[in-house]
């Protein structure tokens, strides 16, 4: 027997502030939302564990800036770091630049120098520059101290983890954005039985989505139990 393959067509996930469970991050959200305002902080550094929502937040700032007709550039280093650091050239023309997964510049002196230069250029042009990484500047593996010092220039803010109740909300929001409903019992079962970091939970959610589509089953606790074994 063949398992029926699902069509690999993803629903558009919408990365907006409305779709983000705030939890203990109200200040951070406000600073991000004000980044493109005249009086906002022009440089911010946000950090936190994987899957805690950093990329989502950076993209939400991009959406917001785009609605205000600003030019924006979102640079996920996971995607671009294997290419040339030329991708950082000329960015000071852009109103808002967001760099994601900055920790990937560890042991890459050329990139470190280019980012250092980018910070200088963005400051001179009075444009917005936001960073996200899994660690704060002082904990990153950087060979260029000049860069570390400049990363600390603006507020450095941690993205706080959600509590269980908020995680449940986040799971359900994410399920909805992928086009299915996650019943309360199933969500709380997941939180009570598996590791409770969002990354693991989101992975499980994705797996559940696939399996339930393949097997044409509704999401119930017994189904989840066997599916995630």
The nearer residue to other proteins, 41 or 203, going by C-beta atoms, is: 41
Compute how many other C-beta atoms are within 10 angstroms of the C-beta atom of residue 89. 12
The answer to whether 130 and 163 have CB atoms below 8 angstroms apart is no
The nearer residue to other proteins, 117 or 203, going by C-beta atoms, is: 117
With CB under 8 A as the contact rule, the residue among 90, 181, 206, 218 that binds other proteins is: 90
Which listed range, 1-9, 113-121, 204-212, 216-224, lies at the site for other proteins (CB under 8 A)? 113-121
Q: H helices of 92-219, where?
A: 109-125, 145-151, 164-177, 184-193, 198-215
Contact status: 12 vs other proteins (CB under 8 A) = yes
The nearer residue to other proteins, 54 or 121, going by C-beta atoms, is: 121
Contact status: 197 vs other proteins (CB under 8 A) = yes
Contact status: 37 vs other proteins (CB under 8 A) = no
Instruction: For the sheet with 96-100, list strands across it.
Output: 72-76, 96-100, 128-133, 43-47, 156-158
Compute how many other C-beta atoms are within 10 angstroms of the C-beta atom of residue 52. 24
The total number of residues shown for the chain amounts to 229
Size of the site for other proteins (CB under 8 A): 64
Contact status: 59 vs other proteins (CB under 8 A) = yes
Compute how many other C-beta atoms are within 10 angstroms of the C-beta atom of residue 141. 11
d(CA 29, CA 17): 8
3 state DSSP class of 133: strand
Which listed range, 27-35, 169-177, 202-210, 216-224, lies at the site for other proteins (CB under 8 A)? 27-35
| Contact string 168-187 vs other proteins (x = CB under 8 A) | --------------------
The nearer residue to other proteins, 46 or 211, going by C-beta atoms, is: 46
CB of 93 to other proteins, least distance (A): 4
3 state DSSP class of 73: strand
Compute how many other C-beta atoms are within 10 angstroms of the C-beta atom of residue 130. 24
Burial 96-129, CB ≥16 within 10 A → b, else e: bbbbbbbbbbeebeebbbbbbbbbebbeeeebbb
Site for other proteins in 139-158 (CB under 8 A): 139, 145-146, 148-150, 152-158
CB of 141 to other proteins, least distance (A): 15
Contact status: 88 vs other proteins (CB under 8 A) = yes
Q: Which helix (H) or strand (E) holds 131?
A: strand 128-133
Residues within the interface to other proteins (CB under 8 A) = 12-15, 26-27, 30-31, 41, 59, 62-63, 66, 71-76, 79-80, 83-84, 86-94, 98, 113, 117, 120-121, 124-126, 136, 138-139, 145-146, 148-150, 152-158, 161, 163-164, 192-197
């Amino acid at each position: 027997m063949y398992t029926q393959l699902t069509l690999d067509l993803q629903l558009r996930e919408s990365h907006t502030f409305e779709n983000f469970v705030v939890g203990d991050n109200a200040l951070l959200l406000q600073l991000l939302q004000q980044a493109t305002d005249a009086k906002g902080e022009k440089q911010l550094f946000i950090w936190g564990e994987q899957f805690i929502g950093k990329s989502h937040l950076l993209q939400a700032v991009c959406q917001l800036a785009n609605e205000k007709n600003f030019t924006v550039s979102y640079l996920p280093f996971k995607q671009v770091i294997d290419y040339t650091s030329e991708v950082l050239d000329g960015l000071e023309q852009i109103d808002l630049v967001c760099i994601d997964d900055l920790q990937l510049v560890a042991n890459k002196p050329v990139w470190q120098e280019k980012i250092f230069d980018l910070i200088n250029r963005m400051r001179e042009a009075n444009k917005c520059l936001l960073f996200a990484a899994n660690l704060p500047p002082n904990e990153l593996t950087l060979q260029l101290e000049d860069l570390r010092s400049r990363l600390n220039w603006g507020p450095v803010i941690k993205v706080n983890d959600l509590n269980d109740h908020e995680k449940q909300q986040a799971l359900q929001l994410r399920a909805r954005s992928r086009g299915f409903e996650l019943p309360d019992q199933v969500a709380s079962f997941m939180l009570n039985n598996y590791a409770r970091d969002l990354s693991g939970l989101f992975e499980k959610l994705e797996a559940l989505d696939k399996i339930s589509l393949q097997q044409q089953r509704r999401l119930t606790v017994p189904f989840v139990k066997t599916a995630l074994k």
